[in-house]
Copies of this chain bind each other. A is one copy, B any other.
């Protein structure tokens, strides 16, 4: 993009390190993505988005702010985009997937902390991300101990608002959550100076639902055999959903799905139908964390579904009910939909386990890889319950706990190859 360097400079980005990061990310992207055979044509748009990752979208955000709109950074699928957009805001997912920025966070965070959180803190503190710098404020939540406590430290660098996500799903927790959603609406109104009307909120509910439906359509197509799209490509689409313009994203994803439908009709796939199909379940994977998918898909197998926040948890569970026409009803519909997401931060969270089993069947998975980021306690401890349930169903399961470094890649590859042998 023309003028990107000036933009970064004006934002205060550390230009030298930004160059280093973009170069490294570009190289990884080339290695991981551009060597895939048989890619759908529709991935061209997403390749383009990636090639401009620090340029075009941040520029759109800055333009939006110049016109008086707000840009709000989020880190979790529980923070309702509907409300941000209804207050003339743009919501952007800021979770970070690279160990490039660890060094920037090292002196203020413990080592034994999930890489996703460390990476995010590092990008902000080191002034490495034009997305962070384009935000008016960020919205954190209380989903896990690491995030909950790190927001307090974030607040020293950028204003940080906290939404409380409860820990059980009984009626009293639903009440608390609805209240938090209402408070967030007030917060957005105050920040933006906009009063959210039922008309606009209804529109934005439809907008975000449309994004969900497009993703659902994409995932639906991944149930076919042969698979019309690689797991890597589908993951990338899910990742980009968090920060691209929702209208454009939805239409591009639907275009891609049109193409994939043709493929399915013609029995055209990206790999042999005999390649083992893997369901990945666990922690989110954010750009540029394609580590697991890359290992799996260069080992003769393919990822058919991600039961993660950058996967089904983002769009699954019924969409927000579009029937209410008053604010209270709409907020309630939003609260209800979001509290159905099956994150391991809840206790108990048995619905997730049922869903993993169901997904394994629906996506015709030959095995499940349970993926956790290092030090992510909730997903890590929940593994034991998942294991018991999957063993009972006779679904093969491999557990991977890893971070963003490449140190364990060789070892992971050996373990994954062993698993694939066992299940094929």
Contact = CB atoms under 8 A, between A and B. Distances in A.
Interface in A101-156: 108-110, 112-113, 142, 144-146, 148-153
Given A145-B378, A146-B381, A162 B168 contact: yes
Contacts of A263: none
A172 interface: yes
Given A167-B142, A168-B164, A347 B149 contact: yes
Minimum-distance CB pairs A-B, first 10: A149-B381, A145-B377, A110-B380, A142-B167, A145-B145, A172-B179, A108-B384, A146-B377, A145-B378, A148-B347
A347 B401 contact: no
Contacts of A172: 164, 175-176, 179-180
A68 interface: no
A166 B176 contact: yes
Given A146-B377, A172-B176, A384 B153 contact: yes
User: How many copies of this chain sit in the oligomeric assembly?
Assistant: 2
Interface centre among A152, A349, A375 (most CB of B within 10 A): A152
Nearest to A165: B167
A344 interface: yes
A149 B377 contact: yes
Contacts of A345: 145
Contacts of A176: 166, 172-173, 175-176
Interface centre among A145, A152, A345 (most CB of B within 10 A): A145
A375 B380 CA distance: 13
A168 B152 CA distance: 12
Contact of A149 (B162, B173, B374, B382): B382
Contacts of A109: 381, 384
A381 B113 CA distance: 9
Contacts of A347: 142, 148-149, 151-152, 162
Contacts of A404: none
A383 interface: yes
Interface in A310-355: 344-345, 347-349
Contacts of A175: 172, 176
A415 interface: no
A5 interface: no
A9 interface: no
A150 B381 contact: yes
A248 interface: no
Interface in A375-424: 375, 377-378, 380-385, 401
B112 A374 contact: yes
18 contacts: A109-B381, A109-B384, A110-B377, A112-B377, A145-B146, A148-B167, A149-B382, A150-B381, A152-B349, A152-B382, A152-B385, A153-B385, A166-B166, A167-B167, A172-B175, A172-B180, A176-B176, A375-B377
Given A112-B374, A112-B401, 19 more contacts: A110-B383, A110-B401, A142-B167, A145-B145, A145-B377, A148-B167, A148-B378, A149-B378, A150-B381, A152-B349, A152-B381, A153-B385, A164-B166, A164-B167, A164-B172, A164-B173, A166-B176, A172-B175, A172-B179
Contacts of A148: 167, 347, 378
A166 B344 CA distance: 17
A152 to B, nearest CB: 5
A169 B357 CA distance: 38
Contacts of A374: 112
A54 to B, nearest CB: 28
Contacts of A384: 108-109, 153
A170 to B, nearest CB: 8
A382 B151 CA distance: 10
Interface in A291-306: none
Contacts of A344: 149
Nearest to A163: B168
Contacts of A113: 377, 380-381
